[in-house]
Structure 1
Amino acid sequence: MNKNFFILLTTLFSFRMIFAYFPNITPDEAHYYLYGQKLAWSYFDHPPLVGWVQWVFSFLPQSELSARIPAIILGLISTFFFYKWIQNFKLNLSPFILILITQSSFLINTLLMSLFPDTLLLVLIYPLMQSLVSLSSFAPAKKWILFGLILGLCGLSKYTAVLLVPSVLIYFLLRKDYSMIFNWRWIYAILSALIVISPVLYWNWQNNWISFYYQTHHVLGGGPTFVNFAKSLAMQIISYILPLYFFAAYGFFKSLLTTNKHYQAVFAFSLPYILFFTYSSFKEPILPHWTILFYYLLIPIGINEFCLKKLSWRIWLFKGSFTFSLIFLFSLLIEMSFHLIPQPNFNSVHRDIAGWPQVMTKASELLADKGNSAIAVTNWSLGSRALFYAKDRKKIYVLDDHINQFDFWQTESPLGKDILFVNTHFFKKDISHYFLCDKTTLVDRMEIKIKNHFVNDFEFIWCKNYRGLSEGS
C-alpha cells in the first residue's frame, strides 16, 4: 500500500473515531443497532445486511462509539475501493485531494462514520462497477458469478439497489456492445444474485410480502407537487453543500460525453438513481441520503474534469469550494460534539438526539417497584432511542396505529399493563384521546436545554390498565 495513502486512511480513522465518540445516538443509528441485537433473515423496513454487520460487532460493550465503529471501518474499505477505482481516470489532481473533497461533504462523511444501509452501498458500488467493466462475451464463469454476488450483496443492503439492475443495460447501450445484453452467461450472475438475496425473499414470503408493500408506498406515496420537489432539492444542496452539488452535476454531464468505459459505468449507475428519486421527490420530500450514490460517484469526476483546464478562475473556485466544504464540515461536527452555538428554542440541530439518556433514566426510576408495568412511546423513531438507552428492553413498547418493525419485536402484549408514556415536544399525543386507559395521570416533566435554550421537552404520563388504541385514534 502506498505510504501516503496509509497515512490518509489513518488520519480519516482517527478523525472519525474522535467525532463519533461524543454525539448521542441518532434515530436511524439506534434502529440499525437494534437490528444487530435482534438478528433475523430480514426486517420490515430494510434488508438484513446492516443488522448482520452490526451483529459482528455485538461483542463490544454498548455505546454510541460502538454503534459507529462498523461504519468507520467500512468507510476505510470504501475509501480503498474509491482510490483503486479513480486510478482508471486520467487524473488532473492528486487522488488524495479527490478523496478528501468528496468526503468533505457532511452527509457523505456522516454515512462513513454512522452505519446506514447506504453505507454498505458506498462500499460495494466500486467493486460492482469494476466487476461490470471487466465482463466480456468470453469472460470465465467466475467473473459472471462474482458480479452476481456483489449485486446480490447490494440487494441485501437496501431495496433501492434494484435501480442498479437497469444500470447494467444502460452501460452496455452506452458501450454499443449489444451482444452483451443477450449473453446467455447472465444466468450465472442472476442465479448468484438470487441466492444472495434469498433471505430477503424468504422473510417476505413468511410475512405476506409486507416489506415490499411498505417500500412501494413509502417512496411513491402522495400526490405530485412542486413544493415537495423544492424541499427535496434544498435538503440535498444543504446536505452535500452547494459547490459539491455543482461538481456532481458537472460530473454527470461530463461522464455522458465520453467514451471512457469507467466514466460510462459511473453515468450508467447514476442515471436510474437521479431519475427515480427526482420523480419520487414530486410525490413526497425525499431524504437526502437516498441519493448519496449519485454524489459519491460523480463528485470526483466533476472535480477532475473541472480542473482539466488550468484556468486561474477554475483553480480558485475549486480551492474555495474545498475550503468552504471543510469549514462547513468541521463546524457541524464540532457543534454536534460540543454544543457551542446557542440556537432558537425547539429549533436546534440537537433536537433528535439530546436528552435521551437522562429521559430513559428518569422513566426507569418512575417505573421502579411497579409490578405489571412498562414504558411506551408513540413513534418508531422514539422507540429506537428508548430501547437503546433503556435499562430493561423487555419493558419498552411502541404503541401506534402503524405497522412497523416493533410489531415483530414486541412478542408480549402490553394489554392490561400500567403504561408510562413518554411524550416529546415533537411527537406529542393526547394519551387519553388516542389510548384506552382506566385513568391517565401526568406524573413528571423534563426540559432539555443547551446554552439556556430549549431543545426538547418530555412528559411522563401514566396510563392505568392499558386496553389498546381508541376507535378515534
Structure 2
Amino acid sequence: MPLSSQQQNSVQSDKPVWFFLICWTVLNLIQAYTLELHADEAYYWVYSRFLDWGYFDHPPMVALFIRAGDSIMHNELGLRLITILTSSASIYILWLILKKYAVDAWAFILVVSGTLIFHIYGFTTTPDAPLFFFAVLFYYFYQKYIDEDKWSLALILGVIIACMLYSKYHAVLLVAFTVISNIKLLKRPSFYLIAVLALVLYMPHILWQVNHGYPSINYHLYERSAARYNPSNSWLYIPGQLLMAGPIISWFVLYSAFSIKIRDAFTRCLLVNGIGTFIFFFLSTFRGEAQPHWTLIAFAPLVMLALIKFKQANTSLTWFYRAALINMTIIVLFRVSIIFSLPFVLQIGQIKSYFGFKKWAHVVQQKAGNAYVIMDNGFQDPSKYDYYTNTLKGFSYDSRYYRLTQFDIWPIEEKMRHQRVLHLIDSPNTATTDSIKTKNWSWYVEWVDDVRTYQKVKVETTIHQLKLHSGEKKDIDLTITNPYPYSINFSNIGVKHEVVFGACFFRNDGEILLQRGDDSFNNISLKPGESTHFTFHLIAPQKGKYEMMFSIRTTPFEGSKNSRVIDLEVE
C-alpha cells in the first residue's frame, strides 16, 4: 500500500533527525574513548563492584549502567557505553513526542545540539544520565496515558517511575509536578496502580535505607546544608542555568518555553515541571550550593516547550537558526579541542581534572605494589586509583573534618585490618619516607604498619541539643557499638598506633576545639554486634555556638566521624 502524503512527509522529516543521531552517537563514542574519567564516574565504577540496592549518596541505577558496559570492555568507553546509547535513544524519543505537534526537524536538531547540558550527559556517566533517559521515557508514555486510560500504560508508567527513583532522588520532583499539573489523575483507578507498583518495586531501596540508618536522607537533607547562607550560590545559579541551556541561544529558548500557550494537559505538565524544577533548585541555593547539572530533568520539558512554541508562533526564525548554528558550532569545536587535548583546554579547571590520573594511578601502584593505599578526605582520588589499577585497593579515610561517603559502608576497611598500608598525604611530615611527583601533583608517602581504624564504630546518644555555660560540666551517656564481623578493642597496650577518643567542637568561624575522653575508654572490648555504655565527662568550651561530634582517632590518621552532630550553645 503506498504511503499517504502525510506519512511521506513524516518519513522525510525523520531523515535529518536520523543523520543527526548518527553524528551525535559517533561524537559521544569518540569523546568517551579518548577522555579520562571524571572523579564521580570512577566513584560510581566502585559502586558497580559492590552491587547493592542503595548507596550512601545515590540509588543504584548508575552502578547497573556502568556494570553492564564495563563487563564488555574495561576502559572509559565501556564505562560510558550504556549512557551513550541511552542518550541517543532519549533524543529520538523526544522527537517522537514532538511529532504530535508537527515540530520542524531542523529546529529540533539545532535546539537539541545547542543545549550544552545534553552534550555533557551524552557520555558522562553519573546518576543524572539514567534519570534523564527514564524521564524522557516517562514523558513519552505519559503523553499516551493522558489520551488513553489503559491499564497496560499504567503498568509501564509504574515500572518507569520506579526506574527513575532508582536513578536519582530528583525523580520525586518530576512525579510530584506531574500530578500537580493534572489533578484529574487522582480520579483514575489506574493511577493508583501506577503508585502502588512503583512503591512495591522501590521497596528494596527503602529497606536498604532503613537497614543502614537512612544515610542518603541524613546526607542530602542535613549534612549537605551549609552552616550559613552564601549569596553567591543564588546569584551564580541563573548564569549557570543559562550556560547549560546554550551559551548563545539560552535566553530565547527559555523565553519561548515559558511564554507558551497551554492548549493541552501534556504541555501543562511540561510547563509545571520546567518551572517547578528550576524554582525548586533556586530555592535550594539558600541552604547550600545547587550545582548547574542538578536541573537536567528540567531541560527535556524546556526544549520541548520551546519547539512547540516555535510552531505555535508560525513566524520566521531565521535569525535564531543562524544563532543556534553558531551556538552548536562553538560547543562542537570545544568538544573536539578536548578530544585532541589542545593546550588552552587543559588550563580550564574542570577540564584539567580529567587528565593525568591514569598515569598517576600506575605511578602510585609501582610504590604500593599489592598493598592498600589510603588517601584522606575525598572519594575522588581513591576511586580513580581503583579504576585505573582495576583493583579495590584504594581507600578513602573520611575524617571528622570531611563527610561520610560510601567508603564508610563498603567492606574495604575490614580487609586492611592489621596490614601494612601506604598512606598518601599532600604535605610531608616526620614519618614520610618518599614522594610521588607527576606533572600536576605532588604526594608524600608514609607506610603504616599493623593499621587499625574504626570508621564504622557507632557512637550514639539521646542528646541532640545542649545549652551550657562556659566551663560547665556535663556527663553524657554514650552507647558504643561494634558493627564489624570481628571483635575489637581500644587498648593502647603493646600496640604501635595509639587510639584516642574525644569530642570535637566545630564553630562557624572555622575554629575547631578538641576534648579528650578519659582513659577508661581504652579498656573497652566488644564482640561483633556488641554494645556498651561509656560516660563522657564534657566540659563546655568558651562562649559560642558549636557543632559537636564524637570521634575515634588512631595515629597517624585524623580521626573519624563516629557520631551524629549535636548542636551545642555555650553561654
TM-score bin, normalised by smaller chain: 0.7 to 0.9
Q: 4+ runs of 1 displaced by more than 6 Å?
A: none
After TM superposition, the structure 1 = structure 2 runs for residues 132-281 of structure 1, keeping only pairs within 5 Å, are 132-135=142-145, 139-173=149-183, 178=184, 180-217=185-222, 220-255=225-260, 257-281=261-285
Q: 1:70 to 1:319 in 2, by over 3 A?
A: same
Query: CA 1:361 to 1:228, structure 2 compared with 1: closer, same or farther past 3 Å?
Result: same
Task: Read off the aligned partner of 1:446 and give its amino acid letter.
Answer: K
Q: 1:337 is matched with which residue?
A: 339
Answer 1 or 2: which has greater helix percent. 1
Measure the CA separation in 2 of the matches of 1:141 and 1:381. 45
Letter in 2 for 1:355: G
Q: What's the CA shift for 1:408?
A: 2.1
Tell whether 2:400 aligns with 1:399: no
Kept in 2: contact 1:274–1:294 (CA 8 A): yes
SS in 2 for 1:57: helix
AA matched with 1:6 = W
Secondary structure class of the residue paired with 1:377: strand
CA distance in 2, matches of 1:37, 1:290: 25
SS in 1 for 2:170: helix
Distance in 2 (alpha carbons) for counterparts of 1:191 and 1:471: 44
Separation of aligned partners in 1, 2:315 and 2:139 = 32
Matched, 1:288 2:300: no
Matched, 1:389 2:373: no
111, 116, 123: which one pairs with 1:101? 111
Superposed displacement of residue 209, structure 1: 1.4
Return the letter of the residue paired with 2:283: Y
Residues 382/119 of structure 1: CA separation in 2 closer, same or farther (3 Å cut): same
Q: CA deviation at 1:19?
A: 1.9
Deviations, residues 26-78 of structure 1 (Å, cap 9, x unaligned): 11221222222321112111111111122222322211111111111111211
- Aligned-pair distance for 1:221? 4.1
Residue matched to 1:315: 318
Whether 1:324 aligns to 2:322 is: no
Letter in 1 for 2:118: I
| Structure 1 contact 129–265 (Cα < 8 Å) conserved | no
Unaligned runs of 5+ in 2: 1-10, 452-496, 498-553, 562-571
The answer to which structure has the higher strand fraction is 2
> What's the CA shift for 1:388?
0.7
Bigger Rg, structure 1 or 2: 2
Aligned equivalent of 2:46:
34
Q: Counterpart in 2 of 1:360?
A: 361
Distance 1:218 1:107, change over 3 A: farther
Q: 2:558 aligns with which of 462, 470, 473?
A: 470
Of residues 24, 46, 57, the one that matches 2:36 is 24
Distance in 2 of aligned mates of 1:137 and 1:14? 36
- The 1:168–1:234 alpha-carbon spacing in structure 2 relative to 1, beyond 3 Å, is closer
Task: Give the CA deviation at 1:472.
Answer: 10
1:348-389 Cα distance to aligned partner (Å, 9 max, x none): 443312211111111111123x8xx42122211222211111
5+ residue gaps, structure 1 = 433-438, 449-455
**Relative to 1, partners in 2 of residues 1:259 and 1:309: Cα closer, same or farther, differing over 3 Å?**
closer
Distance 2:100 2:303 in 1: 16
Per the alignment, do residues 116 and 464 of structure 1 end up closer, same or farther by CA in structure 2, a change over 3 Å counting? closer
Corresponding residue of 1:110: 120
Report the alpha carbon displacement of residue 136 of structure 1 after superposing the two structures with TM.
5.8
Q: Summarize deviations over 1:82-111 as a string: whole Å, max 9, x none.
A: 1111112242x32x4313432333321121
RCO comparison, higher one (Cα < 8 Å, 6+):
1
- The answer to whether the aligner puts 1:125 opposite 2:135 as a matched pair is yes
TM-score with structure 1 setting the length: 0.84
Q: What residue number does 1:88 align with? A: 100
Contact 1:27 1:382 in 2 (8 A): yes
Deviations 1:185-237 (A, max 9, x none): 43211111012212211211221111222122366444334221122333333
Corresponding residue number in structure 2 for 1:457 = 441
Aligned pairs for 1:294-305 within 5 A: 294-305=298-309
State the Cα distance separating 1:13 from its structure 2 match.
1.7
Distance 1:129 1:299, change over 3 A: closer
Contact 1:231 1:285 in 2 (8 A): no
Alignment equivalent of 1:421, drawn from 406, 420, 423? 423
Amino acid at match of 1:362: V
Q: Residues of 1 paired with 2:346 and 2:133: CA distance?
A: 38
Q: 1:431 to 1:142 in 2, by over 3 A?
A: farther
Contact 1:419 1:463 in 2 (8 A): yes
Q: Quick check: 1:148–1:189 contact (8 Å CA) kept in 2?
A: yes
Cα pair distance change 1:156/1:251, threshold 3 Å: farther
Determine the C-alpha separation between the residues in 1 that align with 2:187 and 2:78: 46
* Deviation at residue 308 of structure 1 after TM alignment: 5.4
What residue in structure 1 maps to residue 438 of structure 2? Answer: 447
Cα distance change on mapping 1:222 and 1:151 into 2, 3 Å: farther
The secondary structure found in structure 1 opposite 2:100 is coil
- Using the alignment, how far apart are the partners of 2:46 and 2:285 within structure 1? 29
> Deviation of residue 300 (structure 1)?
4.0
Distance in structure 2 (CA, Å) of the matches to 1:187 and 1:135: 13
- The letter for the 2-side match of 1:228 is N
Measure how far apart 1:10 and its partner are: 2.1
TM-score normalised by L of structure 2: 0.71
